[in-house]
């Protein structure tokens, strides 16, 4: 019978021999070490994510107010949707829809759902109508009428403006979850006053009541009038901040970065009938700004 020490030596030698034979299997001298490991293949490269924003949508629905309806762009006190920056068919305006879709497809692949006089509270309803058309792109230019009240005190509160815009995006997503949204900033109404107030005809027309909070008594440069105009401009800035912040919460929403607010409309780009709404030339500039933002990678 082998001695205890000999038995121990025999066991160690046997273990060493086993490890030598099975070393490719990952044998370890201890019982608690890792077991055999299979050879791993090189991981396949992860494909880059597809961009969410499509720079060439094939259908366009426009929501908004009188600017998108091209009010006073072709005749006095009337909508001129054929000259709309968003969906118009006039070749000189060269609307966003014309640029994206081409003349042959504008009629069947674009919808102008804006309404002259609309305020932000109406946008959820317009967005629901847009969603029903299943467009690939929805353009939004809304809010000027919330600031253009008879008196500055009547402007829509910023909180209400935000609630309506957020609700509008929700309504759109309920019916068209993959539609892209282009949100235009509101124009600088104070700059419009500075441009139009030098025109005798413009001053006369404004006295009829257009955007009284900003344009009333256009030649009055006293402190009370200046405070009123500043309050309106500040409210427009606050509205634009709301549009930017709420749009940023939606992966398929793109704000124009303040492009329209920063654009200086000259007199030829303002309607000759009211010196407030964009003229045919002004509508063309809006189309150009929108196309540049939408097609930017």
- For residues 114 and 120, give the distance between their C-alpha atoms in angstroms, rounded to a whole number: 11
Instruction: Tell me 82's DSSP state.
Output: G
H/E stretch holding 3 reads none
| 10-residue averages of pLDDT along the chain (297 residues) | 44 40 38 47 67 93 98 97 98 98 96 98 98 98 98 98 98 98 98 95 92 96 98 98 98 98 96 96 98 97
- For residues 291 and 276, give the distance between their C-alpha atoms in angstroms, rounded to a whole number: 23
- What are the C-alpha distances in Å from 162 to residues 93, 141, 143? 31, 14, 11
pLDDT of residue 44: 76
- For residues 137 and 172, give the distance between their C-alpha atoms in angstroms, rounded to a whole number: 11
pLDDT of residue 42: 66
DSSP string, 261-296: HH----GGGB-TTTSSSB-HHHHHHHHHHHHHHHT-
pLDDT of residue 21: 34
Nearest partner of 63 among 131, 12, 13, 160, judged by Cα: 131
Tens of pLDDT, residue by residue over 212-254, are 999 999 999 999 999 999 999 999 999 999 999 999 999 999 9
pLDDT of residue 50: 62
Instruction: Tell me 138's DSSP state.
Output: E
Cβ–Cβ < 8 Å for 155, 146: yes
pLDDT of residue 30: 41
Bridge partners (DSSP) of residue 62 are 112, 139
Nearest partner of 150 among 233, 71, 216, judged by Cα: 216
**Superfamily holding 60-294:** SGNH hydrolase (3.40.50.1110)
Nearest partner of 179 among 187, 168, 189, judged by Cα: 168
pLDDT of residue 287: 98
């Amino acid at each position: 019978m082998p001695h205890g020490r000999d038995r121990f030596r025999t066991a160690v030698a046997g273990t060493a021999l086993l490890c030598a034979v099975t070393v490719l299997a990952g044998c370890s001298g201890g019982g608690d070490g890792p077991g055999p490991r299979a050879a791993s293949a090189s991981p396949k490269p992860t494909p880059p994510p597809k961009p969410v924003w499509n720079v060439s949508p094939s259908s366009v629905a426009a929501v908004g107010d009188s600017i998108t309806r091209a009010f006073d762009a072709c005749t006095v006190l009337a909508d001129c949707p054929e000259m709309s920056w968003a969906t118009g068919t006039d070749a000189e305006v060269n609307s966003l829809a014309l640029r994206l879709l081409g003349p042959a497809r504008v009629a069947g692949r674009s919808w102008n759902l804006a309404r002259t006089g609309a305020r932000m509270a109406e946008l959820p309803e317009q967005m629901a109508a847009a969603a029903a058309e299943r467009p690939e792109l929805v353009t939004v230019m809304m809010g000027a009428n919330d600031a253009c009240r008879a008196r500055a005190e009547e402007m829509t509160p910023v909180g209400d403006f935000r609630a309506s815009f957020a609700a509008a995006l929700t309504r759109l997503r309920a019916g068209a979850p993959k539609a892209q949204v282009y949100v235009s900033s509101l124009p600088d109404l104070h700059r419009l006053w500075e441009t139009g107030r030098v025109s005798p005809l413009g001053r006369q027309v404004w006295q009829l009541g257009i955007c009284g909070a900003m344009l009333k008594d256009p030649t009055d440069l006293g402190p009370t009038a200046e405070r009123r105009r500043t309050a309106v401009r500040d409210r427009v800035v606050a509205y634009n901040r709301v549009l930017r912040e709420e749009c940023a919460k939606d992966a398929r929403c793109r704000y124009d970065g303040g492009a329209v607010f920063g654009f200086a409309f000259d007199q030829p780009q303002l309607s000759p009938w009211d010196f407030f709404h964009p003229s045919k030339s002004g509508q063309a500039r809006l189309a150009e700004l929108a196309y540049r933002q939408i097609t930017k990678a």
